[in-house]
Structure 1
Amino acid sequence: MSQSPPASSSPLEWETDDAFDADEPSPEYSPFRVAVALLLALALLGGSGWWLKGRVIPSASASSLSGGTWFAPYVDTTLTPTYQFQDPSQNPARQTVLGFVVAGRGCQPSWGSAYTLAQADSSLNLSSRIAQYRSEGGDVIISFGGRDHEDLAQACPTVGSLTAAYEQVVSRYRPSLIDFDVEGAALNDPASMRRRAAAVAALVRARGGSRHLGVWITVPAGPGGLPHAAIEVAQTLLADKVVPAGINVMTMDFGQTEPSMARAVLSVATAAQAQVNELFQQYGVRGGLGSRFGVTVMIGENDTPGENLSVAGATQVAGAASARRWGRVSMWSLNRDAQCGSAYAEIGVLSNTCSGALESTLGFSRLFATALGARDGVGAPATTAGVALAPSNAPGPYPQWSPSVPYPPAYKVVRSGEIYQAKWFSQGQDPATVVQYPSETPWQLIGPVLAGSHPPTTTTLPSGTYPAWSPRTSYVQGRRVLFNGLPYQAKWYNVAQSPAASATDPTGSPWTALFTWPGEPPLG
């Protein structure tokens, strides 16, 4: 049931932004903005001009052009291969939406129903990557919900249990903004809407209000704008006296062929913004409404055949966002921001890891990040606030890098308090070496070692599984032994050559380890 504001209610308290009055007519596109946008599109298609010493030119310098609109792409956090959003060469945006936190077992929060919060740290190094991203001047927005899996608001039976689940996530990652992507079954569940609203209200109050924890709502929109259920999601929050930082509409998958996807996006956005403005005004929120509106596009090929947003179309969306003074533009997703196909572009392909559009790598992200700006307080290198880091000489969760060890792709090591992962085979190439371009090093910087990390361990086998290694025994090829409880197999005949040497010289050692350490790729 739709919740309308009580007739006698007084306007809600909120943080004014008189610079953006959305009830004023939207300004026309200036020739300067249009020219800049077109130049950006041409440069992106050419794939040049955006790199400086392997790092993206900070987008904050373009914030004056955008009039306050900021760009935050979504990342599918659990998708394989893991997207390195913390790396400036792979993410030009200064704020990134990480999706999605959903119900795992029961009311426990999880990432994509695949990892608990702890498992996301051990398997995906998520907290370390967030810390690294913040040290580079970025920040993350944690998104709850999404199209797939069960929404926490549906899985948690009470407001208290739902609040506790949200608290686990917010306490761990300490975001200044959170995002609730409400769609699918959750969009038509009034009971879960009320639980979510009450839990979010409690969460925000516990942190001293929305100045300390902002809330965005992300809902689907269609050719007529927002469906009633999407409006009801926002109404339930407003009824609990939580004024969202903004309402973000998903302008994608309209269900029909669109001759101009950009025109369709802007038409839907126009209708939805009028509804959002009216809703806020009903609850006494008057000024700055433009900054409380956001749009998310699906770059390239959409789920509906015949819907494809090109780089040129994205240029139009960026120009409209700036001209209309929207608060936010997002895209789905960074994982997809690359051209499908290698030698020849494959257009119209629907994939989780490429766009199905003609573009240079990161073409959409660079366009939006350069044409739009960063949120206030984001863009300058920052400390890893709220995250305790281990001393640089403390043991990490992976083996310490050694110049004598050959490292295959995907191997993780620790060097000077930082976690690195091998991009390709290497030996003797120090991960801490400063390079001009990312392609010059075989190592991907993951992020800092966090406080509380433990030295790597592996499971030992029971005594008697294999004979214990002895320096007085000769071993033929294929013979297996236990050394300190760990299994090894002889590669060739040897005597008195300890299996311990395989850790530092696996090529020259006559022994092959039949186990892996944390960070080591699985045995082939």
Structure 2
Amino acid sequence: MSKRFPGRRLSIVRLALLLVVAAALGVTAFDGWHRFTDARAAATGKPWFGAYVDATATPFHAFENPAGAEGRNVVLAFIVADPDEPCSPSWGGAYSLDEAEQTMDLDRRMARLTGAGGKIVLSFGGLNNDELATACTDQDKLLAAYRAVLDRYQPAAIDLDIEGNDLSDQAAGKRRAEAFAALQRERAGSGKDLKVWLTLPVAPAGLTGEGTAAVAQMLAAGAPLKGVNIMTMDYGAGKASSQTMLDASIAAAEATHAQLSALYRQAGQDVGTQTLWRRIGLTPMIGQNDIPGEVFDLHAAAGLNAFARQNGVGRLSMWSLNRDQTCSENYGDTTRVSDSCSGVDQGGSRFAPVLADGVTGVAGRLDSPPEPSAPSSPAAVVVDNPETSPYPIWSDQASYVAESRVVWKGNVYEAKWWTRGEAPNDPVLQASETPWTLIGPVLPGEKPVPVVTAPAGLYPRWSPTSTYEKGDRVLFEGRIFEAKWWTRADTPEAAMQGSDSSPWAMFNNEQTQKVLDGKEKE
């Protein structure tokens, strides 16, 4: 240096300035790299939309036959503790897992949706019942209960809707977090990834103290927390009178983003701004909310969709598909929340496609690349087997009355009205024209539904020499038959084969069981 610049020396001031510049360049480079890696991580996968379905609300919502791409992902709610057996999972406290299949065809309908490329997300908890971890205090039994649900349904992701008493129970939160951490370790050994979303109540100011504690518990336990879904609804006194529902929802999202940033840092995880938006979900209650005066309309839905897409929000949901329609004139007070209509005039539009607009991802694949598509191959010919079909194989020679079930080409169908000779899978007829409703595929391991028979002596045996009046009942091959009109010498055999012209009507399994239980009135 002295040879090129004779007489010049590096002063202390210059040295300090040089160090400051170098440090600034280093910080800038680090910040630039951090932003680059953040953007790259956030760009992996696509945000997804999945509306909630209140699975046990009647009439049962046909989630297995969604209208449009907004039904590709469905969040089925709610799995809760059985009121009589706290460590047993149930649907809404009303049906065990087996009863849900028997009563609601739930497994079959799920299989229909997933067979068409859809994804099922299972939601545990909700406001009205005890989530499993709240009711079941035995950690091993709790783990077994969660495992039974996952093994049976194989969901794309798990949604933990924790609110009310479930949220305030810190001990339950610890049990829940540890259980899902253990389940993740189990699945990691077999190359599977468990994806869990924590759904929490929120105010325009963000998560409550109990909500942030729930997030911290999941992170501390090492549970596979893929994101936090906030319920942008029912703000009450937390919403200023000048705020619209859209304003309050956006404020809640931004506040939650700041809170989660701090929570992840405290857990030792450096999560970038864009990546963090990917870990946030937004779920409004469409139409009339539970709080009087709070109405989330279609304009607010469009605004929330625009905000989510602009910021890269990872998930959009809504409560619920059951409610996505205008209430009829018979529903007098639309300020009172209904579980089957929104309470607002939707003008022929629906909330689901508005909220799902441009949100095309697949539930459970937010943090992983798309699965490679399998090469196409000729469709296999389905041969129905009476030994593995739960219902009779459809025949063009038989007649079927309303609610009769058959199997055809590997699927179960139910008759809407009397029909004969009309194939259940007729591709030409529109849904309103076909006499059949597709329920779903025949499931692996199924067997014919056992026939409920009546004991000898319950009614007289049918005799070809006897005369029968309308309403008379007889037994024939263990089944109960009732005369539809005066008859003599007409065998009930034709009714067993579905003939509508037979003077006899055969009791189905449910009707026969009611007679045997003494619950049926003649």
Shared fold per TM-score greater than 0.5: yes
What is the match of residue 57 of structure 1?
Answer: none
Aligned pair 1:252/2:233, yes or no?
A: yes
1:233-262 deviations in whole A, cap 9, x for unaligned?
111111112241001111111125866211
SS at match of 2:203: coil
SS at match of 1:457: coil
> TM-score, normalization: structure 1?
0.80
What is the match of residue 277 of structure 2?
Answer: 290
Pick the aligned partner of 2:248 from 257, 264, 270. 264
**Cα pair distance change 1:399/1:91, threshold 3 Å:** farther
SS at match of 1:398: coil
What is the match of residue 202 of structure 2?
Answer: 221
> TM-score, normalization: structure 2?
0.80
Kindly tell me the number of residue pairs found equivalent between the two proteins: 460
What does 1:341-420 correspond to in 2, within 5 Å?
A: 341=328, 348=335, 350-359=337-346, 363-375=350-362, 376=365, 392-394=384-386, 395-403=388-396, 404-408=398-402, 410-420=403-413
What residue ranges of structure 1 are gaps of 5+ in the alignment? Answer: 1-15, 23-63, 384-389
Pick the aligned partner of 1:184 from 155, 158, 164. 164
What is the match of residue 311 of structure 1?
Answer: 298
CA separation in 2, counterparts of 1:341 and 1:477? 40
CA contact (8 A) 1:100 1:144 kept: yes
- Whose relative contact order is higher, 1 or 2, with alpha carbons under 8 Å and at least 6 apart? 1
Aligned pair 1:121/2:101, yes or no?
A: yes
Pick the aligned partner of 2:182 from 184, 191, 202. 202
CA contact (8 A) 1:458 1:516 kept: yes
CA separation in 2, counterparts of 1:129 and 1:498? 38
Deviation at 1:360, TM superposition (A): 5.1
What is the match of residue 68 of structure 1?
Answer: 46
CA separation in 1, counterparts of 2:41 and 2:440? 41
Greater gyration radius: 2
Aligned pair 1:162/2:142, yes or no?
A: yes
**Cα pair distance change 1:321/1:356, threshold 3 Å:** same
CA separation in 2, counterparts of 1:175 and 1:277? 28
**Cα pair distance change 1:446/1:248, threshold 3 Å:** same
Residue identity in the other structure for 1:205: R
What is the match of residue 43 of structure 1?
Answer: none
Deviation at 1:517, TM superposition (A): 5.9
Residue identity in the other structure for 2:220: A
Aligned pair 1:475/2:468, yes or no?
A: yes
**Cα pair distance change 1:67/1:155, threshold 3 Å:** closer
CA separation in 2, counterparts of 1:358 and 1:498? 56
**Cα pair distance change 1:206/1:107, threshold 3 Å:** same
**Cα pair distance change 1:20/1:339, threshold 3 Å:** farther
1:95-116 deviations in whole A, cap 9, x for unaligned?
1111111011221001111111
CA separation in 2, counterparts of 1:518 and 1:207? 45
Pick the aligned partner of 1:445 from 409, 418, 438. 438
What residue ranges of structure 2 are gaps of 5+ in the alignment? Answer: 1-35, 376-381
Of 496-505 and 80-89, the range deviating more from structure 2: 496-505
SS at match of 1:421: strand
1:421-478 deviations in whole A, cap 9, x for unaligned?
3455655432211147433423332210102222133322221111112234333333
Residue identity in the other structure for 2:385: N
What is the match of residue 30 of structure 1?
Answer: none
CA contact (8 A) 1:98 1:142 kept: yes
CA separation in 2, counterparts of 1:364 and 1:471? 61
Residue identity in the other structure for 1:358: D
**Cα pair distance change 1:309/1:457, threshold 3 Å:** same
**Aligned Cα RMSD in Å?**
3.2
**Cα pair distance change 1:145/1:381, threshold 3 Å:** farther
Of 280-289 and 107-116, the range deviating more from structure 2: 280-289
SS at match of 1:73: strand
Higher helix proportion, which one?
A: 2
CA contact (8 A) 1:398 1:518 kept: no
